[in-house]
Amino acid sequence: MTRDGRIPFNWPYMTGKELYYIAQSHFNGRLAGDGPFTQRCHAWLESRSGCHQALLTHSCTAALEMAALLLDIAPGDEVVMPSYTFVSTANAFVLRGAVPVFVDIRSDTLNLDEGLLEAAITERTRAIVAVHYAGVACEMDAITAIAARHRIKVVEDAAQGVLASYKGRALGSIGDLGTYSFHETKNLIAGEGGALLVNDPRLAARAEVIREKGTDRSRYFRGEVDRYTWQDLGSSFLPGELIAAFLWAQFEDAEHITAARHQGWSRYHELLAPLASAGALRRPVVPEACGHNAHMYYVVLPDGTDRDAVLEACRSQGVFPVFHYVPLHDSPAGRRFGRSSGALPVTESLAGRVVRLPLWVGIGEDEQNRVVRALAGALGG
Ligand SMILES: *Cc1c(COP(=O)(O)O)cnc(C)c1O
């Protein structure tokens, strides 16, 4: 392992058993999707999250696209979501012709502000997408109550939320549908990968069809029908067994991976306490109801700080923090396809001040000290 003394923001962790399981698939000659490793991954996701049905996908993006198809999102429909999120949250619904309606975020968790939802809902609203930023839950009780009152659906973009919880319930298992990501930068990884969690049992049969090119092939494999035919809209959303085999090794080690990330997260939290009390930055806030998964350690710089200069000063010390996201309402496609519900002052203020620190399984104390020193130096402390 060489990083040339650099401290990147991410360093993918592998358990050591990934290739062993891939070799098993290879020797079994079982390479297409929904083989034994996929089945194991589904069972693990179902037992760990409590969802009705879990389905592996190519990515969280693919799972979000499946969610849009499953909810019959159609041209002119509106889907309420934060602007401060990854593009796929919106794109999946825009692909069905829907209009993303962007709401502002809370200044503590950077999650959508549930207090602004009512004002964003119109007769055309079909769904709310709750994005659990940094694996810290949105205020789901309020969100699901508002959705129920308006008879609209809730999709949880829990891309960052694997093994995190809200009032004891797994993120992704609370809305009608939930989505996970196993992208290389997430907690549990498969390079590219994801899952759709189906919580409303009425959506389960159709979810299988949509994922299998619009056919009932899943039922055919179970011996429930004697041939499979074209039943509905769909595409190829399922990954092959090699991806599932890799992912299984990660699932087996999930507790250790999460615990190791928590160790790094908590160390940053302690190391940064003096800078926080001096007002040089703000640390993440985790509300009482949220069991987070240490997906991300970020800091918020004070208003007026030149973030680019801070990032550049860190890089000159070999430390590579990153920033995200460019708010969707302020991006070319977001302006073309979406609209904002009211002003988004918190999003506009905070999006330019977030700095995400290097965090991965096995980051050393020395490395974290170096990150904090570089940050302190960059902030003139
Ligand atoms: C990573 C991420 C995605 C996309 O996940 P992929 O698996 O790369 O498609 C979507 N939404 C959020 C909030 C994410 O962090």
Ligand 1: centre distance to CA 377 (Å) = 32
* Segments of the chain scoring below 70 in pLDDT: 1-2, 381
**208 CB within 6 A, ligand 1:** no
Please give the pLDDT value at position 2.
58
Please give the pLDDT value at position 380.
84
- The best mutation among 10, 57, 61 to test binding of ligand 1, ranked by most ligand atoms within 8 Å of the C-beta, falls on 61
| pLDDT tens-place string over residues 264-316 | 999 999 999 999 999 999 999 999 999 999 999 999 999 999 999 999 999 99
Ligand 1: centre distance to CA 196 (Å) = 12
- The best mutation among 56, 181, 354 to test binding of ligand 1, ranked by most ligand atoms within 8 Å of the C-beta, falls on 181
Please give the pLDDT value at position 335.
98
Please give the pLDDT value at position 363.
96
Nearest CA to ligand 1 atom 2: 159
- The structure tokens listed for 289 are 């109801």
Please give the pLDDT value at position 151.
98
Q: What percent of the chain has pLDDT over 70?
A: 99
Residue ranges and CATH numbers for the domains of the chain are 18-252 (3.40.640.10), 254-378 (3.90.1150.10)
Cα-to-chain-centroid distance, residue 154? 15
Is 0.85 surpassed by the pTM of this model? yes
**111 CB within 6 A, ligand 1:** no
* Atom nearest to 182 CA in ligand 1: 7
Ligand 1: centre distance to CA 256 (Å) = 23
Ligand 1: centre distance to CA 63 (Å) = 10
Please give the pLDDT value at position 381.
59
Please give the pLDDT value at position 4.
84
